Amino acid sequence: MALLLSEIKKIGKRVTWTAQLRNRLLVSGTLLATGCGGAYLFRDKFKQTLMTQTKDIAKESLDDQSVKVHVGNFSQDLVNQVLQDEQTYNYTKALVRRIAQDPEIIDETRKLLEQALEHPSFQAKVRKELAELCQHPETRKLLAQVGKDAIKDLSQDPEVMKMLEMATWTAIKGAMTPNWLKSL
């Protein structure tokens, strides 16, 4: 009898375990189906929230100074590595030569430069930059020195001095008209 009772208890435990497993699977399946159904129903909202969160995290990362420094160092190291690679260097050199010798590229570059140089906003910017450059004290010193050196070099050239002498006499003769004394 005790043996029969122990066997009934074992069968009861198996039935209970099977029922618990079935209940757990049923609850898990229900939760999974509810989650999938919710994800399907709210997929646009979920996608929008995920994109917003990703954008915010990326923005914070990009605004972080240490990340900027790290990315800057990484990109600088990458460029240096690429520039030091012999195969990349040779390929780049060949590409630049090919581009520089292509008549179409040369013509289009010339046209683009002409358009840029003729554009009023570009000319205004160049005038502004030149005016600021000429106002700088160091630039003024340099221009004064260049002017002095140019005058010194020109004054030592006999042809220039002869032309200057002729121009001076021509100006004096032109100024001496019959009414010349009256204008004084």
Q: Is residue 144 part of a domain?
A: yes
Q: C-alpha dihedral over 42, 43, 45, 47, to 10 degrees?
A: 160
Do 123 and 151 lie in one domain? The reply is yes
The confidence score (pLDDT) of residue 4 equals: 59
Dump pLDDT digits (tens) for 17-32. Answer: 666 667 777 777 777 7
Do 111 and 145 lie in one domain? The reply is yes
Q: Is residue 54 part of a domain?
A: no
The confidence score (pLDDT) of residue 5 equals: 62
Do 89 and 113 lie in one domain? The reply is no
The confidence score (pLDDT) of residue 79 equals: 79
Do 122 and 93 lie in one domain? The reply is no
Domain residue limits at 88? 64-101
Q: What tokens appear for 106 in the block?
A: 């040369």
Do 93 and 115 lie in one domain? The reply is no
| Number of domains comprising the chain | 2
Q: Is residue 92 part of a domain?
A: yes
Give yes or no for residue 181 having a pLDDT over 60.
no
- Look at the block and give the residue holding tokens 């590409």: 95
Do 111 and 154 lie in one domain? The reply is yes
Do 97 and 120 lie in one domain? The reply is no
Return the axis-axis angle of helices 158-175 and 137-155, rounded to nearest 10°: 90
The confidence score (pLDDT) of residue 164 equals: 83
Give yes or no for residue 62 having a pLDDT over 80.
no
Give yes or no for residue 50 having a pLDDT over 80.
no
Do 113 and 144 lie in one domain? The reply is yes
Dump pLDDT digits (tens) for 77-87. Answer: 887 887 788 88
Q: What tokens appear for 41 in the block?
A: 């129903």
pLDDT band at 132 (very low <50, low <70, confident <90, very high): confident
pLDDT band at 180 (very low <50, low <70, confident <90, very high): low
Q: Is residue 147 part of a domain?
A: yes
Range 143-148 average pLDDT: 88
Q: Is residue 84 part of a domain?
A: yes
Q: Is residue 93 part of a domain?
A: yes
Do 120 and 79 lie in one domain? The reply is no
Q: Where are the alpha helices (DSSP H) in 42-178?
A: 43-63, 65-84, 86-101, 103-118, 120-135, 137-155, 158-175
Q: Is residue 121 part of a domain?
A: yes
pTM of this prediction exceeds 0.75: no
Do 73 and 86 lie in one domain? The reply is yes
Do 82 and 122 lie in one domain? The reply is no
